[in-house]
């Protein structure tokens, strides 16, 4: 197919670029402003010329680029009747090469594709220095962001319509207006493998996978509870190794079958403890909560009440602990530690000095809901001195968990701790309390390292020499949890079974609260520290159905 010669200005027509459809030969006109072709309809390029001018830099929405000054084949004849000349285009002195223009769309830089002719617009100048060769492709506009400087990239598809440039191209839709086509033009090949038909970018970064859904609550998982002890989803503030529990959700869980089996196990004469162990010891906390609800739905009976009436001793205590949500169990243990004569300070320390901010806030609310009492007030009434201040600080849940490490501050805090303890007569316990209760775990680790340089002693040695009693135990617990949480719980389990007798409350509390969180790591720490297998240690220390349930929770199956 042939085209009439391009008649104006004495310049020959450029090969591969069709003349505007509907017009014969005539003097060349500068590109008129606006997003629409000249009257008469836009002539579509032929297949032969499409490959040569497939990609260009039409503005989003089909707006063609204005001709560059000094380009070959562009004549600056008189304007068409009824149409004024484009502002700033005719009459400009030719410049060498193709320098960037001062408007919103500067000339293409190295690495950007050459401008594309708009529908019916004038053909751009041929490729020259500074213009990348036109890639093969279809009729659409450029991939999003091309033809613009990098700092003015177009928003991706789905982020709102794209209007004309500020202060230019009259008649173009306003920025973000309805009907404005997405950047890149219809039919443009998707950039980076994304385009129409590709999923919209998820929050958290273009092309990045959406943040994984975090379970709501749990010892290692900040958030309100659902009865799940959960793993730590983000270790940015703690730098702990990967954590894994021994108890996992049961894969073939059927809540109705479990309820029927439990009812049958406790109905009539005698109790089938093996069925109870098999179900409660191999179902996750969330699954056990579902069983508790469905049991009442099916039989009009409370499962916990039935368990209490059928079981006894430590086996009953362990089963009842398993039927509580994690926050209920912590609140229950805190209340038990302060109820009646005496106070179980070790339980208060273990819970309050090892939970994170979100967990402590949840425990405070659950304690109030369960007992109609304020946990902090109960602690104040049951403890005293600097130990009371430490526990109140823990209840405040104000640790700067996402604090970044500041080594200058760490050195200053280490010196302050040294000055508050070993360097003076007496001890300023408030300084230890302030730093250990408020700084992030990573910041505290940096402080401990700097403290060794300052004092030539480990921080634990200094605490033991400067403090005593429950305060020393509380401070040491914080230090040990910050350094190695799994090692701390391994120590708690070892000392609950060491020697004559067994601290069953501690044994039950640690195994029940950690079996879905990090019991595998605790078992490894136990082996490394004491040269003994935790499962074997428990087997030798307890007996009966109580032992079978504890071993089920500790088993890797």
Which of 20, 31, 92 minimizes the C-alpha distance to 57?
A: 31
Rounded Cα distance between 133 and 75, Å, is: 24
In the structure, what pLDDT confidence band is assigned to residue 98 with cuts at 50, 70 and 90? very low
Is pLDDT above 60 for 271? yes
The DSSP bridge partners found for residue 390 are none
What is the per-residue pLDDT for 557? 67
Q: Please give the mean pLDDT across all residues of the chain.
A: 72
Is pLDDT above 70 for 281? yes
Q: 3-state SS of 454-493?
A: HHCCCHHHHHHHHCCHHHHHHHHHHHHHHHCHHHHHHHHH
Average pLDDT over every residue of 463-487: 97
Rounded Cα distance between 522 and 154, Å, is: 52
Give me the sign of the Cα torsion angle 400, 405, 407, 410. positive
Does this chain's domain 255-311 share its CATH topology with 371-554? Answer: yes
Write the Ramachandran bin of 96: left for phi over 0, alpha for psi from -120 to 50, otherwise beta. beta
Tokens found for residue 382: 């049951």
Average pLDDT over every residue of 247-276: 96
Which of 49, 26, 46, 48 minimizes the C-alpha distance to 38?
A: 26
What is the per-residue pLDDT for 104? 38
Residue 15 burial (CB count, 10 A): 9
What is the per-residue pLDDT for 269? 87
- What's the CATH code, domain 371-554? 1.10.220.10
Whole-model pTM: value is 0.60
Cα-only R_g, the chain = 37
**Least confident span in 268-272, 314-318, 447-451, 550-554:** 268-272
Is residue 164 within 8 Å of 173, Cβ to Cβ?
yes
Which of 150, 138, 179 minimizes the C-alpha distance to 51?
A: 138
285 Cβ neighbours under 8 A, 6+ residues apart: 227, 228, 229, 322, 325, 326, 516
Is pLDDT above 60 for 117? no
Q: What is the pLDDT of residues 481-510, one digit of tens each?
A: 999 999 999 999 999 999 889 999 999 999
What is the per-residue pLDDT for 241? 63
Is pLDDT above 90 for 21? no
Is pLDDT above 70 for 284? yes
Backbone φ and ψ for 216, nearest 5 degrees, come out as: -90, 100
In this prediction, what percent of the chain has a pLDDT beyond 90?
54
In this prediction, what percent of the chain has a pLDDT beyond 70?
57
Q: What is the pLDDT of residues 533-546, one digit of tens each?
A: 999 999 999 999 99
Class of domain 255-311: mainly alpha
Is pLDDT above 90 for 377? yes
Question: Would you kindly state where each structural domain of the chain is located, as residue ranges?
Answer: 255-311, 371-554
What is the per-residue pLDDT for 379? 98
In the structure, what pLDDT confidence band is assigned to residue 511 with cuts at 50, 70 and 90? very high
Is pLDDT above 80 for 517? yes
> Could you tell me which residue, 99 or 337, shows the higher pLDDT?
337
What is the per-residue pLDDT for 240? 52
Average pLDDT over every residue of 147-162: 38
**Cα dihedral 403, 405, 406, 407 in deg (nearest 10):** 160
Q: What is the pLDDT of residues 299-347, one digit of tens each?
A: 999 999 999 999 999 999 999 999 999 999 999 999 999 998 899 999 9
């Amino acid at each position: 197919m042939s085209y009439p010669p391009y008649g104006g200005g004495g310049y020959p027509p450029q090969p591969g670029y069709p003349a505007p459809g509907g017009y014969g030969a005539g003097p060349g006109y500068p590109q008129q402003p606006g997003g629409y072709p000249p009257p008469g309809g836009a002539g579509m390029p032929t297949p032969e010329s499409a490959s040569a001018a497939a990609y260009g830099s039409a503005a989003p929405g089909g707006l063609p680029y204005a001709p560059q000054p000094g380009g070959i084949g562009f004549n600056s004849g008189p304007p068409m009747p009824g149409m004024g000349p484009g502002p700033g285009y005719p009459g400009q002195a030719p410049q060498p090469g193709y320098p960037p223009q001062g408007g919103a769309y500067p000339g293409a830089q190295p690495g950007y594709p050459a401008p594309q002719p708009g529908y019916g617009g004038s053909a751009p100048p041929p490729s020259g220095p500074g213009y990348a060769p036109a890639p093969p492709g279809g009729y659409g506009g450029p991939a999003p962001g091309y033809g613009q400087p990098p700092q003015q990239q177009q928003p991706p598809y789905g982020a709102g319509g794209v209007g004309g440039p500020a202060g230019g191209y009259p008649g173009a839709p306003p920025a973000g207006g309805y009907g404005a086509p997405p950047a890149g033009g219809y039919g443009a090949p998707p950039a980076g493998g994304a385009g129409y038909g590709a999923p919209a970018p998820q929050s958290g970064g273009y092309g990045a996978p959406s943040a994984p859904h975090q379970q709501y609550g749990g010892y290692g998982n900040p958030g309100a509870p659902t009865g799940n002890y959960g793993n730590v989803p983000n270790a940015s503030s703690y730098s702990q190794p990967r954590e894994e529990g021994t108890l996992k959700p049961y894969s073939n869980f059927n809540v109705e079958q479990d309820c029927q089996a439990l009812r049958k196990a406790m109905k009539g004469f005698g109790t089938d403890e093996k069925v109870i162990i098999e179900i409660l010891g191999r179902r996750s906390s969330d699954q056990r909560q579902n069983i508790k609800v469905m049991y009442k739905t099916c039989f009009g009976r409370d499962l916990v009440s039935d368990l209490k009436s059928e079981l006894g001793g430590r086996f009953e205590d362990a089963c009842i602990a398993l039927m509580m949500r994690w926050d209920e169990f912590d609140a229950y243990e805190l209340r038990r530690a302060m109820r009646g004569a005496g106070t179980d300070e070790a339980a208060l320390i273990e819970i309050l000095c090892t939970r994170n901010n979100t967990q402590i806030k949840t425990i405070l609310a659950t304690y109030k809901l369960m007992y109609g009492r304020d946990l902090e007030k109960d602690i104040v009434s049951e403890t005293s001195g600097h130990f009371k201040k430490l526990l109140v600080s823990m209840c405040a849940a104000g640790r700067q968990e996402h604090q970044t490490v500041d080594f200058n501050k760490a050195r200053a805090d280490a010196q302050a701790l040294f000055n508050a303890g070993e360097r003076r007569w007496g001890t300023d316990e408030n300084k230890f309390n302030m730093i250990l209760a408020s700084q992030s775990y990573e910041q505290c680790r940096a402080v401990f390292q700097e403290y060794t340089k300052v004092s030539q002693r480990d921080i634990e040695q200094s605490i033991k020499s400067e403090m005593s009693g429950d305060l020393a135990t509380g401070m040491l617990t914080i230090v040990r949890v910050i350094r190695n949480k799994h090692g701390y719980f391994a120590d708690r389990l070892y000392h609950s079974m060491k020697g004559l007798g067994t601290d069953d409350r501690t044994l039950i509390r640690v195994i029940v609260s950690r079996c879905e969180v990090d019991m595998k790591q605790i078992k490894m720490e136990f082996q490394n520290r004491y040269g003994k297998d935790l499962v074997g240690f428990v087997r030798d220390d307890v007996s009966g159905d109580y032992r079978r349930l504890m071993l089920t929770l500790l088993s890797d199956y």
